Chains A and B, each alone.
Chain A
Amino acid sequence: LAKTTQPISMDSYEGQEVNITCSHNNIATNDYITWYQQFPSQGPRFIIQGYKTKVTNEVASLFIPADRKSSTLSLPRVSLSDTAVYYCLVGDISGGYNKLIFGAGTRLAVHP
C-alpha cells in the first residue's frame, strides 16, 4: 500500500511562500496525487491534483519530480486564513481493490 509521510506541523508568516512536502515511496503507476485543506469542524476541501511535473491553479502549485516518490504543495503569499491542516492523498489500486491513503496531515499556522 502506498504510505504517505508529511511534516506534522509548520509555521509561517503572512505574505510568505509555504512549501509542504509529502513522501510516497510506493506510489503506483496509475495513482494521482491530491492535496486537501481542512479547517476545524469542516470536511476537507480539494486544493490541487497532479500526476507528474508541475500543476498550477489559482490557489496553489504542485511540484512532482520524475520518480513521483514525493510531491510538494506550494502556497504563495499565505494569509491568516490559510491556517489549516493540509493532507496529501495518494490513490492506491492494488490487489484488485481501491484503498485511498491520506497522510497524517500537516498543521500549518500562519502568524501576523
Chain B
Amino acid sequence: GAGVSQSPSNKVTEKGKDVELRCDPISGHTALYWYRQSLGQGLEFLIYFQGNSAPDKSGLPSDRFSAERTGGSVSTLTIQRTQQEDSAVYLCASSLGDTGVREQYFGPGTRLTVT
C-alpha cells in the first residue's frame, strides 16, 4: 500500500517568507508526528497528533511554527517569517497510535532551504 507522502520534496525560500509543508499519512493511521533534522544531526521532535485531539504544541521551536491536522488525516506544518536556522529536512511519520510508542512509518521528508 501507499506509504507516508510529503510535499514538496524540496523547498527553497527567501528569509522572511512563509512556507507550508504537507504530510499525507498512511490510511488508517491515527497518530501523526513531525520531526526536524538538521544536516548531520539527529531527529528533533516537533509535534504529535492523535486522531482528532488537539496536539500539544510545546515542542515547537518558536511561535513562528504551527501545525494542523484536518479530518484526522492530512497535516500541514507552517513556518512563518522563515529564518536561515529553519533550514533542515522536515520529516513526517504516522503510526497506529493509541498510547505509548508505536512503529512509526516515515515519509521521505521535505528539504527546506532558507536563503
Does A46 lie within 8 Å of B105, measured CB to CB? Answer: yes
Given contacts A99-B59, A100-B45, A43 and B91 within 8 Å (CB-CB): yes
Contact A102 B42 (CB under 8 A): yes
- State A23–B35 Cα separation when bound (angstroms): 22
Please, how many angstroms separate the alpha-carbon atoms of A84 and B107 in the complex? Answer: 17
Instruction: Tell whether A45 pairs with B106 under 8 Å between CB atoms, given A87-B43, A102-B43, A105-B42.
Output: yes
A100 is contacted by which of B91, B99, B101, B103 (Cβ under 8 Å)?
Answer: B101
Q: What is the minimal beta-carbon distance from B57 to any residue of chain A, in angstroms?
A: 9
Which partner residue on chain A sits nearest B103 by CB separation? A46
- The reply to whether the CB of A70 lies closer than 8 angstroms to some CB of chain B is no
Q: Is A71 an interface residue (CB 8 A)?
A: no
What 8 new A-B contacts, CB under 8 Å, besides A44-B93, A97-B56?
A30-B99, A30-B100, A31-B100, A43-B93, A90-B101, A98-B48, A100-B48, A100-B101
CB pairs A–B below 8 angstroms (12 shown): A30-B100, A31-B101, A32-B100, A36-B104, A43-B106, A44-B93, A49-B102, A87-B43, A89-B101, A91-B100, A97-B56, A102-B45
- Mark B residues whose CB is within 8 Å of A: 4, 33, 35, 41-45, 48, 50, 56, 58-59, 91, 93, 99-109
